Amino acid sequence: MRVLSGIQPTGFPHLGNYFGMMKPSVELQNAGEAFYFIADYHSLTTSPEPQELRRRVIETATDFLACGLDVSKTVFFRQSDVPQVAELTWILNCVTPVGLLERCHSYKDKIAHGKPANNGLFSYPVLMASDILICKSTTVPVGKDQKQHVEVARDIAQRFNNQYGEILVLPSPMIRDEVAIVPGTDGQKMSKSYGNTIEIFGEEKKLRKKFMSIITDSKPVEEAKDPETCPVFALYKLFATPAQVEEMAGRFRAGGLAYGVAKQELFEMFWTQFAPLRQRRGEIAADSGYVESVLKAGGEKARAIAETTMAEVRHAVGLR
């Protein structure tokens, strides 16, 4: 099994990033070959300020390493350190029907939420396909909302193979249903696009305030509450043991539990569990050159594999 996943450097990683991508990636690093990258090409769809983008790449890599990524077991790299990805994207664009991209819900969703329409955003799934296919990945851990992009990558790979021969490996998505969608403070999927995120690292006072701002219904303290419709309980399940989850669900249904109390308990559980990660992050950040050296070494390994794939692709399509 060859696993691949990426994370955009769009600001401080939040709980959706952690449970949807970072934690599963750390758990999978012992299951086979693992390739993880910082998706700086992808982030260009929002035209970030160049210096800010470079800072975010290092910050995001620092956060990922603090969450337990082991560079002795993984290939951890910056996407733009593998220029073959952009080369493969153009070749795959030439076998990708426009209609396939028009059906992608991610583009429609981002436009609906005010993102400016540009071709980078529209053809994002092709670049994502290149990330996956250039390393000949077999397994892609994704959130439920990203499953379609892996299916698109399979479709594109199949179209390429039908035309040029069996060169690209068809990947499969890996979805952990219990954390497929992490709710944000407003109950929607947690996303920076929606402004409803809770960062995994930050100041205690600010993070506590975010937890206390989670939107709930207006039921009074004494009334019974449905835990399955409450974003506070949905987040609590991500941190708690099965026994703790069952006990909290009982308190919701019995009545007498104030939402404010549940939010406080959720925050304390989060703050305690992330304490070792915060300490590790501080140690990594204190070594100014460490993260850059890790990304450079990972980039060299990823380029070597990408170039092997591209040599096959170039020959197949008639280049060089």
Domain definitions of the chain by residue range: 2-181+288-317, 202-273
Kindly give the residue spans of alpha helices, DSSP state H, lying in 33-180: 40-43, 50-66, 84-93, 98-102, 105-112, 119-122, 124-134, 147-164
Helix runs in 185-289, H state only:
204-212, 231-239, 242-254, 259-273, 275-286
Class of 202-273 per CATH?
mainly alpha
At 179 the pLDDT is: 60
Catalytic (active-site) positions: 110, 189, 192
pLDDT at residue 178, rounded to an integer: 61
pLDDT of res. 121: 85
Cα-based distances in Å from 107 to 91, 250, 283, 306 = 21, 40, 38, 27
Averaged pLDDT score across all residues of the chain: 93
Average the pLDDT over 248-257 and give the result: 96
Residue of 9, 66, 2 whose CA lies nearest to 28: 2
> What pLDDT does 320 receive?
78
Whole-number Å distance between alpha carbons of 125 and 42: 10
> Is residue 143 scored above 80 in pLDDT?
no
How far is Cα 79 from Cα 25, in angstroms, rounded to an integer? Answer: 17
187-221 per-position pLDDT tens digit: 998 988 789 999 999 999 999 999 999 999 999 99
Residues of the chain with pLDDT > 70: what percent? Answer: 98
CATH number of 2-181+288-317: 3.40.50.620
How far the first Cα of the chain sits from its last, in Å, is 31
pTM: 0.89
Q: What is the mean pLDDT of residues 139-151?
A: 83
